[in-house]
Structure 1
């Protein structure tokens, strides 16, 4: 099962309402996966302030703020949001990520960049959304996932999104059949992994493609040519939002588009509360066709 949602806002007047819209979408997908959930929110002024680096951290030491401050050599702020802690600082995203890793080598970095905050947790999606205060979030884009675990343990680390590149994330409904082979190939090329989860392989593959200079459409076409299995994927970064399904397209997905927004979900009911949806163009994405939008 598992449920995917994504919302890309074209109309700036809707930016203050991003969190409320995402909350409704996420909760509609709760019965597709109620053991854990996660979201990636782009542009919230509290979680990822403008011109400030933000790192999302799981399983971190209680004195993380002091440890990262000492490592980085400048002031650091840490916000606790359930299983996730958001670390922000006036630094480069890479420097802050590296300082967190050095300050607490056992911590798991769940996302990093300048615009994205990644929140993950174990429990029912509605309870998690309430605990995060998701309804109050703002921004121009959000991605979410409700998980029914099949490939790895039920913990916050195994929840989606998988955000392994700067301001990038991926959510996945389905299963990659040849993930072990691709993981070995990526490891041999020097790519680091945090888990044995098949979704992380897809995320690392896409991040590696983007780091090599490919755009998201080319990266996802290469993924379709390389990965076997059944999947619907949503990949986002600070400027783009893209959806692709496997060649058989057995995992459900629906896309809706208006002048004000683009949205996708595993089922239409997650889109039914969006403003102006009655006027939207609505369709089911075709197999192995990459649908992408840019800011």
Structure 2
């Protein structure tokens, strides 16, 4: 049992409030997942590729990191450090060299993208939100997750969202029964998951389908044929977010839409503090149906 939230803003004047609204939604889902929490925020495009990294010893690992990486790449790098995470903005064409440099230093890659930043840690959702000052973050849309670990250990890397491609990430409520089989298939294709979490298998599956030529909608539809188990997936991309539930759809899910936003929650109470919720169109997403909203 986990909690999922998602918020897509239709109007730019709400962008400064995204983090505040999404944090309220996330904290409301605490009793569905108290062991860890994470959020992906899609803000303004950067001047280069942003890489979000995590460290258990940020004071030492982040000291001078931007300077050292810039020297290694031969071009300046900017860095924003937030608690155990840091967002580094890379010069064009330096992605692979930068990742190799960062991983050699023992830093964990949380995600990459021109717009996306990912923050996740173990602990209660409120504590995680406070550590990263999520309420102060603005943007166009975001997704979040509160985890109750069932299939793997409580670790930072095991927390959601999982990102396996640029500006793309996934959160999941449910359990996949064929994730070990899919893990072997994906590894052979060059999309090996890094953790034991079955959600990362789903994220790698979607990335593999897109690499094979499928669009995002087709990749999400493919999960209905190739992934066994009970699942609700909420996926963030640079331009929007999508939702799909398995054909049985036993995991709770609800959506709300107004002229200002589209919201997803594992339970209706996640929407309680959203402005104008009393006038929203509220519905339960249909089983085996892909929903998507884009800017």
1:152-192 per-position Cα deviation (integer Å, ceiling 9, x unaligned):
11111111000110000000011111001011011111223
Offset at 1:216? Answer: 1.8
- Residues 125, 75 of structure 1: alpha-carbon distance in 2 compared, 3 angstrom cutoff: same
- Residues 98, 25 of structure 1: alpha-carbon distance in 2 compared, 3 angstrom cutoff: farther
Aligned 8 A contact 2:51 2:110 in 1: yes
Aligned 8 A contact 1:236 1:242 in 2: yes
Secondary structure of the corresponding residue to residue 157 of structure 1: coil
Offset at 1:103? Answer: 3.8
Match for 1:53 among 39, 49, 52?
A: 49
Aligned 8 A contact 1:68 1:100 in 2: no
TM-score, normalised relative to structure 1: 0.93
Where in structure 2 are the equivalents of 1:184-199 lying within 5 Å? Answer: 184-199=184-199
Offset at 1:83? Answer: 2.7
| Count of residue pairs brought into register by the alignment | 289
Where in structure 2 are the equivalents of 1:24-173 lying within 5 Å? Answer: 24-43=24-43, 50-59=46-55, 61-62=61-62, 64-92=65-93, 95-96=94-95, 98-105=97-104, 106-173=106-173
Task: Give, in whole Å, the separation in 1 of the partners of 2:283 and 2:11.
Answer: 21
Aligned 8 A contact 1:71 1:103 in 2: no
Task: Give, in whole Å, the separation in 2 of the partners of 1:38 and 1:231.
Answer: 18
Greater displacement, 52-61 / 117-126 = 52-61
Give the unaligned 5+ runs of structure 2.
none
Task: Give, in whole Å, the separation in 2 of the partners of 1:182 and 1:135.
Answer: 37
In the TM superposition, structure 1's runs of 4+ consecutive aligned residues that sit over 3 Å from their partners are 59-64
Aligned residue number for residue 261 of structure 1:
261
Secondary structure of the corresponding residue to residue 135 of structure 2: helix
TM-score, normalised relative to structure 2: 0.93
Offset at 1:62? Answer: 4.3
Aligned 8 A contact 1:258 1:280 in 2: yes
Aligned residue number for residue 248 of structure 1:
248
Aligned 8 A contact 1:97 1:109 in 2: no
Greater displacement, 63-72 / 237-246 = 63-72
Offset at 1:101? Answer: 2.6
Offset at 1:97? Answer: 5.4
